[in-house]
Amino acid sequence: MAEWLEVTARSLGGYESRVTARSHEIAVDEPEYAGGGDAGMMPTEMFCASIASCFCLALQHVAGKRGRELPGLTVRVRAERAGREPRYGRIQVEADADVPREELEALIEPARRVCWVSNTLVEGTELSYRCTPVEGRTRE
């Protein structure tokens, strides 16, 4: 695996953008009530989707390592806004599968330990912003 993971978002105007990673593309937009065209998920939904999908894969991974299957596995993420701030203050991750509850519960902590997205949030990460000028482009 490469040291750097790269994802690119390109604006299509308004609030709509297309996000690409490797050869995959995802539509991103805001709903109509927020001024968008509802052409895709909101970025905050994609954020929650990242948590849900990564934890789902992590559960499948640890179950497979133990020779178990998790039929009907579903992971749901709910994010609660932090008051009026533009961020979430609490995130709940819930898993369900067609197995006895105790069996699934025993996999939660091992899955959490191998879930990249969850670990990034819990451990924190450096986030920086910068502008990179494109060579040959002139400013008007």
Q: Are residues 49 and 59 part of one domain? A: yes
Share of the chain above pLDDT 90, in %: 89
Both 1 and 70 in one domain: the answer is: no
pTM above 0.75, yes or no: yes
To 10 degrees, the CA torsion angle through 103, 109, 115, 120? 160
Q: Are residues 60 and 109 in the same domain?
A: yes
Q: Are 140 and 87 in contact (CB under 8 A)?
A: no
Give the pLDDT confidence score for residue 135 in this predicted structure. Answer: 75
28 lies in which domain range? 1-41
Cα angle at 61 between 56 and 63, to 5 degrees? 95
Tell whether 54 and 93 lie within a shared domain: yes
Residue 2 has pLDDT above 80, yes or no: no
Residues 48, 115, single domain; the answer is: yes
**pLDDT score recorded for residue 81:** 96
Q: What is the pLDDT of residues 103-137, one digit of tens each?
A: 999 999 999 999 999 999 998 899 999 998 877 66
CATH value at residue 77: 3.30.300.20
